[in-house]
Amino acid sequence: MAVSASLDTTDAVIIGSGPNGLVAGIALARRGWDVTVLERSPQAGGAIQTAELTEPGFKHDTYSAFYGLLHRSPVFAALGLGAAVDWAHFDTPVGAAVEPSRAAVIHRDVERTAAGLGAADAGAWRELVAWWSRTGERFFAATLEPAGAARPMLRLARRTKVKGGFELLRTMLMPIERYARERFSTDEARALIAAGTTHTDLSIEAAATTAGAVILAMLAQTAGMPVPVGGAGELARALVRQLDEAGGVLRTGDRVSRVVVERGRAVAVETDGGAVVRARHAVIAGTGPGALFMDMVGEGELPAGFVDGLRRYRYGTGIFKMDVALRGPVPWLAEDVRRAGVVHLTGTLDGMARAAFESGRGLLPARPLLICGQQTVADPSRAPEGCHTLWIETQVPGIPRGDGDSDAELAGWSDDARDGFAERVLDRVEQFAPGTRALIAGVAVRTPRDLERENPNLVGGDLGGGSQALDQQLVFRPVPGWFRYRTPVKGLYLCSASVHPGAGVHGMGGWNCARRVLRDSIRPRGVMKTASSARRSPTRPR
């Protein structure tokens, strides 16, 4: 349908102000593009938010929380985020507990980490860190580039040679359970290396889970788990400032309801209020593929094969989220995790596999795998003096059908199901840290249904933008053959976590998408400006 009038005209319209949308907007604005970012919510940032959810004075990160991945992303240096945000660091970034008194931790000092794993596994950890320095960092860097990009893969191939390349490929395609059992001998060390899988919808038995788990462990070892002082929302505010400084425009409370397509090209967007913003060169969506193509564009503008691919796109398990205000620190029985940024209550590998199986089959896990964040250990400004916050998340079915701890049938997230599972989560914490309940000053509980209601991108409560199974990664994400940010509609691009590199706050979906848009445009080529050169000699539109 043609548009007869417009409220505004800009070079690029970006739908959504999550980290990828903001990064794309900053990158284009620094190249002299006129950029308008439209955000449905009153506050920018997408899944980077902080709020007083429980009691006054307690600042809780409502979605994402820890940013080791971002610190090793090219976006971090390119946008100067080290200086733009005040970061707090943990001497002990990560821990994993297999029993209340048995845990292993990653210290920022490699030798401390190795020593803590004991004689049986110290050597294996040192070897892993050496491999990371030699090869792993290059592998990680290659995974952040656009899928199928030849140059980073050639650099990696030159480094590994043929034999090393085959061994790297085999290792990265392994289930993390097999890798952990091959490399480490104790339950604690195995749980520590496998703990990263609890951040995904996958079981430790799934193919290709070694890559993500090892990357997260090595990022914790080398970059830590930094958090913005004052809360995750400070990172969102820094990105918004950079967009403004580069000349971009952000409009909050402006929900895009339609992408206007004329003769096969996206030319404008229309908001709920009837406002129309025309785009000279690109419409970029930081949304889920279903919301973009099925709701905003419409099937009639898309090839049948692409629509079939969209219908096969699936989301992973959801997140059950609890934010707890405490009158004191968590009294963990395992002393090593008391100062850790992230504490994984995993149990053994067998317990991890069982919990993931139950979630994947629509059951609330009998012994949920908990990821506990202790941001106030490094950043006491988030709570009143002497108090702490506890950030808890665990994988659950988006719509539970039953309970792994009983024969009860469920029909979604009733109040009873929510409250009962919240008690189970707190019981699990209490098992590992007796006395925690007595310290509670307030609790906020959100189910997958609640998360999706707050942010429609979190379909079924999935924070990862879609299942992280191998058949939905790389050239298969979001639709096989459409993995380089372009879409079948000319001038329309997708930059969310539903495209490669996928889940996590790293900004590379937005960064890579902006590079793609620039290559497709008629503008002169050049290099995106860094933070220090953002306002020098912009290349204006022709």
Q: What is the DSSP string of 284-334?
A: EE-S-HIIIIIIII-GGGS-HHHHHHHHH-----EEEEEEEEESS----SS
Q: Which one has a higher pLDDT value, 534 or 481?
A: 481
CA distance 265 to 153: 33
Helices vs strands, H then E, count in the chain: 19, 20
Check residue 27 and report its DSSP letter.
Answer: H
Q: What is the pLDDT of residue 130?
A: 96
pLDDT at 156 over 90: no
CA distance 187 to 185: 7
| E strand or H helix that includes residue 417 | helix 415-432
- Residue 81 has, within 13 A of its CA and on its CB side, a CA count of 32
Q: Which one has a higher pLDDT value, 270 or 149?
A: 270
Mean pLDDT of the chain: 92
pLDDT bin (cut points 50, 70, 90) of residue 3 is very low
Q: What is the pLDDT of residue 154?
A: 67
CB crowding 222-250: b at 16 or more within 10 Å, else e: bbbbbbbbbbbbbbbbbbbebbeebbbbb
Instruction: Tell me if 363 sits within 8 A of 397, measured CB to CB.
Output: yes
Range name among 1-5, 254-258, 276-280 with the lowest pLDDT average: 1-5
Q: 209-222 vs 187-194: helix axis angle to the nearest 10?
A: 100
Mean per-residue pLDDT, 512-516: 97
Q: What is the pLDDT of residue 50?
A: 97
Which DSSP string corresponds to 133-167? IIIIHHHHHHHHSPTT-HHHHHHHHHHHHHHHHHH
Mean per-residue pLDDT, 385-401: 97
Most confident region among 7-11, 278-282, 472-476 by mean pLDDT: 278-282
User: 408 Cβ partners below 8 Å, 6+ apart?
Assistant: 402
User: 20 Cβ partners below 8 Å, 6+ apart?
Assistant: 286, 495, 496, 497, 507, 508, 509, 510, 513
CA distance 413 to 447: 7
Nearest to 376 by CA among 360, 387, 362, 361: 387
Q: What is the pLDDT of residue 148?
A: 73
Nearest to 64 by CA among 451, 496, 504, 501: 504
Check residue 278 and report its DSSP letter.
Answer: E
pLDDT digits (tens, 9 = 90+) for 427-461: 999 999 999 999 999 999 999 999 999 999 999 99
Mean per-residue pLDDT, 140-168: 74
Q: What is the pLDDT of residue 234?
A: 98
Mean per-residue pLDDT, 160-188: 86
pLDDT bin (cut points 50, 70, 90) of residue 165 is confident
Query: Tokens for 179?
Result: 């890798």
Q: What is the pLDDT of residue 152?
A: 67
CA distance 289 to 315: 11
Q: What is the pLDDT of residue 2?
A: 43
pLDDT at 5 over 50: no
Q: Which one has a higher pLDDT value, 148 or 276?
A: 276
- For 159, counting Cβ atoms within 10 Å of its Cβ (0-12 exposed, 13-18 middle, 19+ buried), the class is middle
User: The tokens 């959504």 sit on which residue?
Assistant: 16
User: The tokens 């060390």 sit on which residue?
Assistant: 189
CA distance 421 to 397: 12
Q: Which one has a higher pLDDT value, 530 or 441?
A: 441
Q: What is the pLDDT of residue 523?
A: 53
- For 477, counting Cβ atoms within 10 Å of its Cβ (0-12 exposed, 13-18 middle, 19+ buried), the class is buried
Mean per-residue pLDDT, 81-93: 97
Range name among 156-170, 228-242, 337-351, 440-454 with the lowest pLDDT average: 156-170
pLDDT bin (cut points 50, 70, 90) of residue 525 is very low
| DSSP 3-state of 184 | coil
Domains and CATH numbers, the chain: 8-48+232-313+464-533 (3.50.50.60), 68-229+317-454 (3.90.660)
Other beta carbons within 10 angstroms of residue 483's beta carbon come to: 19
pLDDT at 535 over 60: no
Other beta carbons within 10 angstroms of residue 162's beta carbon come to: 8
Q: What is the pLDDT of residue 446?
A: 98
Peptide bond into 501 cis (omega under 30): yes
Range name among 305-319, 339-353, 442-456, 524-538 with the lowest pLDDT average: 524-538
pLDDT digits (tens, 9 = 90+) for 414-425: 999 999 999 999
pLDDT bin (cut points 50, 70, 90) of residue 161 is low
Q: What is the pLDDT of residue 527?
A: 47
Range name among 131-140, 147-156, 260-269, 293-302 with the lowest pLDDT average: 147-156
Q: Which one has a higher pLDDT value, 477 or 536?
A: 477
